[in-house]
Amino acid sequence: MISKASAMFARIAPRKARVVADLVRGKDAGAALQMLEFLRKSAAPVVRKLIESALANARQLAPNADVDKLFVSRITVDKGPNRQMRRWRPRAMGRATRITKGVSHILVELDAR
């Protein structure tokens, strides 16, 4: 039984979210939630809510299934478009450079062992 959850256009840079995703990949869902609760990374609350959502989806799909046997089988972080989140920074000699804010698409899949 595969349970999925996704967060599209999450307002976190993909580089920061991938660090957290690499930590929880392959772990049991309960252990991953416990670790993310105390992790001091900016992407930890986003990934934690996403795993909780995937657990709720698993309970909804199969009410009699054992959610304690689920683990994070796949978690991917991709770069999203950031047309709206562009800012400009003044530079030397009257020029300006663009500051690009990070947007991520995060996908979590839970599977039974």
List the domain boundaries for the chain: 3-112
Q: Model confidence over 49-85: pLDDT tens digits?
A: 999 999 999 999 988 888 889 999 999 999 999 877 7
CB 107 within 8 A of CB 75: yes
In this structure, the number of other CB atoms found within 10 A of the CB of residue 83 comes to 7
Q: Model confidence over 14-46: pLDDT tens digits?
A: 999 999 999 999 999 999 999 999 999 999 999
How far apart are the C-alpha atoms of 60 and 44, rounded to whole Å? Answer: 24
Please tell me whether residue 41 adopts helix, strand or coil conformation. Answer: coil
Q: Which homologous superfamily is 3-112 in?
A: Ribosomal protein L22/L17 (3.90.470.10)
